[in-house]
Structure 1
Amino acid sequence: VPDTVVLANTGVCLENVEEQLCIADGCVTATTFKKDGVFANFVDQARVAKFMEKVRHIRQ
């Protein structure tokens, strides 16, 4: 559908975000940002920074 934003959802992580953003406009992520990749843990700022650094590189 033209002009429709497509988001990749479950399972997007540092290792596959480049592949996902080749076919989607953005992504929803949760566990990949959590300490040790465990959903119940708090957000790990270093994991977020590393992920977003890769996203910025992909989008250039």
Structure 2
Amino acid sequence: MDFEAELAKFQPSLEIDQAEDAIYGNNTTDVTDLLQSILKDEKAGRNTKKNKSAGWVEE
């Protein structure tokens, strides 16, 4: 079997391309975004018990 020839013929399926578009186009908040928001509020002095950023629940 000629692996180089097989690799040259390879083309990803449409489902993979569509999945990549959905994943990379999704603008979700992750842990890093949450931590940056908390630190920003903390530096600005807005993260007090009366005024929690992003609706954090007090324990």
Q: TM > 0.5 between the two?
A: no
Which structure's relative contact order is higher, taking Cα pairs within 8 Å and 6+ residues apart? 1
Structure (1 or 2) with the greater helix fraction: 2
Q: Which has the larger radius of gyration?
A: 2
Compute the TM-score of the two structures, normalised by the length of structure 1. Answer: 0.28
Compute the TM-score of the two structures, normalised by the length of structure 2. Answer: 0.28
